[in-house]
Amino acid sequence: MNRSDLIAATDLCVKCGLCLPHCPTYVETRDENESPRGRISLIQGWATGALGAAPELTRHVDNCLLCRACEAACPAYVPYGGIVDRFRQEAGAAGKPLAARLKSGILRKVLTGPSLSRLAGSSLARRAAVAIKNLNGTKGLGRGFGIAELAAGLPETSVRPIKKGWTGFHPAENGRGIREVLLFQGCTAALLDSETMTSAIRLMNRLEIGVRVPEGQTCCGALHLHAGEGGAASERMARNLAAFESANSDVIASFASGCAAMLRDYGEAFPSAEAKQFSERIRDIGQFLAETPWPKDLKLRSLPATVCVHSPCSLKNVLRADRHAPALLRRIPDLKVVALPAQTHCCGAAGSYLLEHPQMAQKLRDDVLERILASKPDYLVTSNPGCAMHLRAGLKQRGREGIEVVHWVTLLARSLTE
């Protein structure tokens, strides 16, 4: 997309304002500059040369969570996410405080760097989680860099041994495999999603599905793209295209909705026939399991409890697949399933947003937690690791550690009979 393409994309917005009640930052501030149409107007002015990339301008765009709720509500199908990503690549980090740049840079390095991938499955990955928790006790450091939030949000499974042997083929149980699916691991499995990864494989194997985890796959690139690092995101896309290219399956499933949203957008973010074909194979794991026939003899154990289902923005607004998790959970006998209202706004996690904009992130989280706690749940399930970490930290701050935060796939896997 060159500058004229960006102008054409922003011209699609007729400034009708239907997006306003769906935008979390506008609802909180009532500032038009913090609304989708306000940000598009600013980017439009920059693209035409009427405005320079002043810190004040880029600050308003940087305050966007990229929840893309505006896209879901837009009658003109304005590609808002792509417009913001392109602007961030072109305008750079002007207007973003140094502390925010450091925080997001450290998070990308920790989660997406090659070191964590090499540590996956080892006791060293477990030590990394313990180190983050210990940093929380370092006076001043945890408060200044958000370490306290990260430490509080880590799942307990992050300090337990991580399952080895994810890469490769996992055959269906009893050798009755009816199909094969490729599983995208993502960059957080080793630290934040080890139980989810194991649960996804186990559940699909019990559903007579063979699971292949291709070697060589890497981070989806979302953190880099949304931070304006298009080159770094493109490099990761190329590695993933190569890793999944030779795999013999028409479906690539992802249990992290943020990753699935990014993978599905490869064809738009980096236009090519190869990227488009790759994107067409992407499925959120909920959508895939809902469309897959379940064995008639599969039994699930009773779970007399209440679960609240949180739908991440990437699942609702990009993948449009938020209806599947509640339906699948209702397969568990005696489990009361409560889905949050559709109008619930972003929880404030939004990749590195929770570190870069902690005040807004915590305010948005408080609003979501009030809705969650009203359902009096025993479990809170969500399908994005960043949301899970952010909400888990908020529950702990409120003294509600008894509410376990997990992926819904994990609850289904735990309910499988032997």
* Dihedral of alpha carbons 212, 118, 154, 96, sign: negative
Tokens of 170: 């996992």
- Greater pLDDT, 78 or 120: 78
**Residues paired with residue 338 on neighbouring β-strands, in sequence order:** 308
**Distance, CA of 136 to CA of 150 (rounded, Å):** 9
pTM for this one? 0.87
**Distance, CA of 129 to CA of 195 (rounded, Å):** 14
Quick: pLDDT tens for 77-105.
Answer: 999 999 999 999 888 655 566 656 665 66
Average pLDDT over residues 181-188: 88
Residue 230 has pLDDT above 90, yes or no: no
- pLDDT tier for residue 41 given thresholds of 50, 70 and 90: very high
**Distance, CA of 98 to CA of 102 (rounded, Å):** 6
Strand order across the 305-310 sheet: 335-339, 305-310, 379-382, 404-406
- pLDDT tier for residue 135 given thresholds of 50, 70 and 90: very low
Quick: pLDDT tens for 352-362.
Answer: 898 889 999 99
Backbone angles phi, psi at 176, to 5 degrees: -105, 40
Average pLDDT over residues 369-385: 96
Residue type, 347: C
Closest CA to 62 of 96, 98, 103: 96
**Distance, CA of 121 to CA of 165 (rounded, Å):** 8
* CATH class of the domain comprising 3-91: mainly alpha
DSSP state of 402: T
* CATH class of the domain comprising 305-414: alpha beta
Environment class of residue 366 by beta-carbon count within 10 Å: exposed (0-12), middle (13-18) or buried (19+)?
middle
pLDDT given at position 407? 96
pLDDT given at position 187? 79
pLDDT given at position 395? 96
**Distance, CA of 140 to CA of 147 (rounded, Å):** 10
Average pLDDT over all residues of the chain: 85
- Residue in the structure block whose two tokens are 């501030």: 29
Domain boundaries, the chain: 3-91, 98-159, 168-186+199-291, 305-414
**Distance, CA of 38 to CA of 407 (rounded, Å):** 35
Rg, Å, the chain Cα set: 21
Question: Which pairing describes strands 252-254 and 282-284: parallel, antiparallel, or unpaired?
Answer: parallel
Indicate the range of 21-25, 144-148, 249-253, 299-303 predicted with least confidence: 144-148
**Distance, CA of 322 to CA of 368 (rounded, Å):** 16
pLDDT given at position 146? 56
Terminal Cα distance for the chain, rounded: 53
Grouping H, G, I as helix, E, B as strand and the rest as coil, residue 339 is strand
Residue 118 has pLDDT above 60, yes or no: no
Share of the chain above pLDDT 70, in %: 81
Element (H, E) at 183: strand 179-184
pLDDT given at position 109? 61
pLDDT given at position 72? 93
